[in-house]
């Protein structure tokens, strides 16, 4: 799948072969089990107060190394501080301050998302982001996405 390219600041991401395998495995599992169209994994950089994409199943659109710096206060509170995953169930939720690149998401018909927090012992490491058409996801799938995200804790903690 191709679509409009995301224009954003980009940094070089260097991962071990083991980290790449783990990320690819979890992204693939999210596509198969959750029916996702787009799956990304983002690493939190607390000093910069931003996220860096370290995995993407659509790298031609959402490149590895892309930086998300326009993080809304509600998203930061829910994900970074409270460490609670959530479902954005419709286009209105996906166009909130929790997500960037609204034009690209609309062009790809991505009107629903799960943002699964990757954290341990009060430390926020990042998120597993699972997107699909509006109405794609349920609370049961949020639980499944959280289980997939938990598989990434050691990988992200080691970066």
Longest dimension (CA), the chain: 38
* 106: Cα within 13 Å, side-chain hemisphere: 9
pTM attached to this predicted model: 0.90
Domain locations along the chain: 18-157
Q: How far apart are CA 69 and CA 134, in angstroms?
A: 25
Mean pLDDT over 23-42 rounds to 97
In the chain, pLDDT over 70 holds for what percent of residues?
A: 86
Q: Residue 57 in contact with residue 39, Cβ under 8 Å?
A: yes
Q: Is the pLDDT of residue 130 over 90?
A: yes
Read off the pLDDT of residues 17-31 as tens digits, 9 standing for 90 and up: 999 999 999 999 999
Both tokens of residue 1? 């799948």
Task: Say what the pLDDT of residue 21 is.
Answer: 98
65 against 94, higher pLDDT: 65
CATH class of 18-157: alpha beta
- Chain centroid to Cα 118, Å, comes to 10
């Amino acid at each position: 799948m191709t679509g409009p390219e995301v224009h954003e600041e980009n940094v070089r991401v260097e991962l071990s072969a083991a980290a790449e395998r783990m990320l690819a495995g979890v992204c693939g599992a999210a596509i198969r089990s959750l029916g996702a169209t787009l799956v990304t994994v983002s690493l939190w950089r607390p000093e910069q107060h931003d996220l860096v994409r370290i995995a993407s199943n659509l790298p031609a659109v959402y490149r590895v190394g892309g930086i998300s710096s326009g993080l809304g206060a509600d998203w930061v509170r829910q994900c970074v501080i409270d460490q609670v995953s959530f479902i954005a169930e419709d286009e209105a939720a996906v166009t909130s301050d929790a997500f960037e690149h609204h034009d690209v998401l609309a062009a790809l018909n991505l009107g629903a998302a799960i943002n699964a927090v990757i954290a341990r012992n009060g430390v926020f490491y990042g998120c597993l982001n699972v997107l699909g058409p509006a109405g794609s996801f349920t609370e049961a799938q949020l639980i499944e996405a959280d289980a997939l995200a938990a598989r990434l804790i050691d990988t992200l903690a080691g970066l």
